[in-house]
Amino acid sequence: MACFAATFAVVVLLGFISVSADKKDACDVYAAVGQSPVLPFSYEKLTSSHVLRWTHNNTIVFYRQGRVSVGKPDDVSAAGSLQLRNVKFSSAGAYRADALQPNGTLAKTWAGRLCVVDKAPKPEVRYVCDFKFSAVNLDCVVAKPEGLAFSWTLDKKTLPGETRQAMRISLNQLKGERSFTCSVVNRASQETSDTVHPACKSPPPPPLLCFTDKTVKAAAAGGAALVLLLITIIVVQCCCNRRSKTQMRVKDKVRMLSVNRRELDSVGPEYETMRPTETRPPPSPQPSPRACYHNAEAASKLSQLPSAAGGQQPSPVPKPRTKALQATSS
């Protein structure tokens, strides 16, 4: 039981320390570097007879009792709030204000913590026309988006629910000249981009093929190379065929010349004397039928003469060719 009580006490103590640390680290006022924040202390009954004291991390930064002895008179307002100018990271910390009555009693007090952060960067709106989805993609570009909240405006009207760094708008909403801006804000400052007018009114024609440009170009280059290769092969084949035909013709001519030369060599002078070339005599005029008849009679008489002298019988006399004579006469 005693062990349990001791453990419970340790847990409570750690929780108290953690809550105190969180409260100590919590910021009541945020300011960006270079800004001039006002610490929210206000005492409406404050007069010049009151004692006003401001401390920063337990160091007096303003003190007034009738007159200002630490700081400047214009550092505080009539209600006693402290005006800081051109704060730096070193300006962060715990601040405390005490207003005292002329008799030294405490009239009002305030304590808070100032946190100094970087100023929000100015964003830039960039857009890309996405004709595939009939939309335009907008991006709010900043150097360091960590710890920033984003908002968008269309024609100077805030778009509710658009708190992301990027958004998409349909092209149907871009009819006419539309203007876009984006804003970024942190705990201490806010910056807005320049106005942008997206121009996505002329979408390109849809592609004929469902391929990327690189694929189409590669296929075209490959096709051109293939066509060139085929043309080269055809030209080479034609040249080879033509050359082979020419060689065959030359071989045929050489073969014919060799055959003719062999024939000429085989025909000698003896063969030419033994078989002289026949020459046709010029045609002689045909005799008339009457002359043929007289010639036949004369030939018969001549044939009878030697036969009578030798006591031999004469050879028969050939009859004239009457039919041939009739044909020639007719």
CA 276 → CA 49, 262, 263, 267, distances in Å?
171, 20, 17, 12
Domains 22-117 and 124-192 share a fold: yes
Selected residue with higher pLDDT from 7 and 60: 60
CA distance 93 to 238: 95
pLDDT at 305 over 60: no
In CATH terms, the superfamily for domain 22-117 is: Immunoglobulins (2.60.40.10)
Q: What's the pLDDT score for residue 266?
A: 62
DSSP letter string, 2-42: HHHHHHHHHHHHHHHHHHHHHHHH--SEEEETT---EE---
Q: What is the mean pLDDT of the chain?
A: 77
Q: What's the pLDDT score for residue 3?
A: 41
Which pair of tokens denotes residue 16?
Answer: 């108290």
Q: What's the pLDDT score for residue 12?
A: 35
Overall average pLDDT of the 91-95 stretch: 95
Overall average pLDDT of the 67-91 stretch: 92
The closest of 68, 77, 65 to 39, measured between CA atoms, is 77
Topology annotation, domain 124-192: Immunoglobulin-like (2.60.40)
User: Would you kindly state where each structural domain of the chain is located, as residue ranges?
Assistant: 22-117, 124-192
The share of the chain scoring above pLDDT 90, in percent, equals 37
CA 90 → CA 58, 93, 111, 112, 116, distances in Å?
14, 8, 18, 16, 8
Angle, helix 322-329 to helix 289-309, in steps of 10 degrees:
160
CA distance 273 to 325: 39
pLDDT at 291 over 90: no
Q: pLDDT (tens digit, 9 = 90+) per residue, 203-246?
A: 555 555 566 667 778 888 888 888 888 898 998 888 888 888 88
pLDDT at 122 over 70: yes
Lowest pLDDT segment from 28-42, 145-159, 171-185, 244-258: 244-258
Which pair of tokens denotes residue 4?
Answer: 């349990």
Selected residue with higher pLDDT from 272 and 241: 241
Q: What's the pLDDT score for residue 257?
A: 77
Which helix (H) or strand (E) segment is 299 a member of?
A: helix 289-309
